[in-house]
């Protein structure tokens, strides 16, 4: 699967994975690349993680998307296979 990320989303993903899912960060390029290839199984793991994070911290008290929520939502869509 080919993944296309902008730099902001790449940096967000990499920093969050380093903190929470370091076993998945090894599948990302070492430096920002507009697009890269990733196997479907890893894409599904990242998508599931982003979906869980969206539910946990993606909304404010009024159920509006937070800034991180918007990023998790984008990641969920991008890594959908």
pLDDT for 64: 97
**Can you tell me the mean pLDDT for 21-44?**
94
- The pLDDT of residue 6 is 95
* pLDDT tens sequence across 49-62: 999 999 999 999 99
The percent of residues in the chain predicted with pLDDT above 70, rounded, is 99
Q: How far apart are CA 58 and CA 5, in angstroms?
A: 19
Give CA angle at 37 (31, 39), nearest 5°: 120
**Positive or negative CA dihedral for 11, 14, 15, 17?**
positive
pLDDT of 23 reads 95
Number of Cβ atoms within 10 Å of the Cβ of 55: 11
Domain layout of the chain by residue ranges: 2-78
Average per-residue pLDDT in the chain?
95
Torsion angle of C-alpha atoms 22, 4, 73, 54, degrees rounded to 10: 0
């Amino acid at each position: 699967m080919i993944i296309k990320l902008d730099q902001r989303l790449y940096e967000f993903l990499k920093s969050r994975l380093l903190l929470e899912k370091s076993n998945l960060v090894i599948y990302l390029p070492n430096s920002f690349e507009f697009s890269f290839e990733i196997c479907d199984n890893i894409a599904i793991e990242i998508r599931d993680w982003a979906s869980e994070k969206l539910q946990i911290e993606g909304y404010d008290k009024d159920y509006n998307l937070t800034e991180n929520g918007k990023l998790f939502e984008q990641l969920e869509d991008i890594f959908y296979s």
